[in-house]
Amino acid sequence: MRICSIFTFMAYCCLLEAFTITVPKDMYEVEYGSNVTLECRFPVDKQLNLLALVVYWEMKDKKIIQFVNGEEDLNVQHSSYSQRAQLLKDQLFLGKASLQITDVKLQDAGVYCCLISYGGADYKRITLKVNAPYRKINQRMSLDPVTSEHELTCQAEGYPEAEVIWTSSDYQILSGKTTITSSQREEKLFNVTSTLRVNATTNEIFYCTFRRLGPEENSTAVLVIPEPYVDPARKRTHWVILGALLLLIAVTAIFCLKRNVRMMDVEKCGSRDMKSEKQNGGKPGDDPEGDKKSKLVKK
C-alpha cells in the first residue's frame, strides 16, 4: 500500500461525514490457481448513487481497482492483475465492494486495502495467503545391481516449503535424503525431491509423505516394490528353448512309437510262419510236393 495514497485519501475523506465499513473476514487462505473474492461492506441507505461512490483496492504499491464516478478505470490497474481482477459491480447495490481475483498466483499473497468513500470514508485491511499443495507426487523406483538395494524417489512441486517423511508398512519412520530447489516455471514453487535406499522384498510397501508447516493437508504416495525385472529378449530366448525341447521330445516319442510298431509287425509275421509249418507237419525248409515228384520218377 502506498502511504501517500492513504494520506491523500484520508485527508479528503476527513472533511466528509464519518461512516464505517466492515469485513466478513480479515484473512483468506486459498490454493494456487483457484479464485477468490475479497469483500468490504459499506452502509447504503435506500438506492445506491453510483456517482457518489468511490472504491479503491490496492496491495502494497499495486493499484488494482479504481472506481470513480460510476466507472472502473482499468488504465491504472497493475499489469500483474490484468484480466484477472475485477470489481463485482452488481454487488455494489448490496453495499458490498467485492474484489474478485481469478487464477490466483503466489505473488498475489499479501495485505490488501479497500478504501471506500460514500457520504463518509473508511478503509479496512485484508490478508490473503496462497498455498500450493503437493498433490501430484511423481514416483520412481530402481534396483542397484551392486548392492541389491532398492532406490525409491518421490518428487513434487508446491508451496510453502515441505519436508518428506518416509515410513514402512508397519509405520516405522525411515531415513531418506531430501533436496529442495526452485521450480523452473514462472511461478517459483518449491521443487522437493526425496530418495530412500532400502533392502526390500517383492510387494513390500513404503510411503512418502509431503508435510508442510502449519495445519495444511499432507500428501502421501504409496510405493510397492515390483517383481524383479526380466529382459524381454531373455524371455523370448526361454520360450524358444522350451519350444525346441518340446519339439525334440515329440519327435523322439514318434520315432520310438514307430519303431515299436515295426517290431510288433515282425514278431506277428514270425508267429504266423511257425503256425503254418506246424500245421503242415514238416520241418522248416521241407517241400512235400518235391517228395511226391521224386517218388514218381523212381517208379
List, for residues 215-251, the tens digit of each pLDDT value: 667 899 999 998 876 656 655 666 677 777 888 887 7
pLDDT at 296 over 50: no
Q: CA angle 121-127-128, nearest 5°?
A: 125
- 128-175 pLDDT, tens digit per residue, is 999 999 989 999 999 998 888 999 999 999 998 999 999 999 989 999
> Is residue 169 a part of any domain in this protein?
yes
* Cα–Cα separations (whole angstroms), residue 68 to 106, 117, 217: 29, 10, 42
Give CA–CA dist 50/116, Å, rounded. 12
Number of domains in the chain: 2
Residues 151 and 178 in one domain: yes
Sheet of 71-72: strand order equals 27-31, 121-131, 110-117, 54-59, 62-68, 71-72
Out of 97, 131, 165, pick the residue that ends a domain.
131
Q: What is the pLDDT of residue 162?
A: 92
Query: What CATH number should be reported for the domain holding residue 147?
Result: 2.60.40.10
Do 28 and 103 fall within a single domain? yes
- Is pLDDT larger for residue 16 or for residue 21? 21
Residue at a domain's end among 131, 154, 181: 131
CA pair distance 17, 148, nearest whole angstrom: 80
The predicted pLDDT at position 154 comes to 97
- At residue 4, the pLDDT reads 44
Buried b (16+ CB within 10 A) or exposed e, 238-275: eeeeeeeeeeeeeeeeeeeeeeeeeeeeeeeeeeeeee
Pair (7, 85) in one structural domain: yes
Is 241 inside a domain boundary? no
Mean pLDDT, range 9-30, rounded to an integer: 77
Residue 294 domain-assigned (yes or no): no
Domain that holds residue 168: 138-224
Residues 13 and 36 in one domain: yes
- The answer to whether residue 207 scores a pLDDT higher than 70 is yes
Say yes or no to pLDDT of 22 above 70: yes
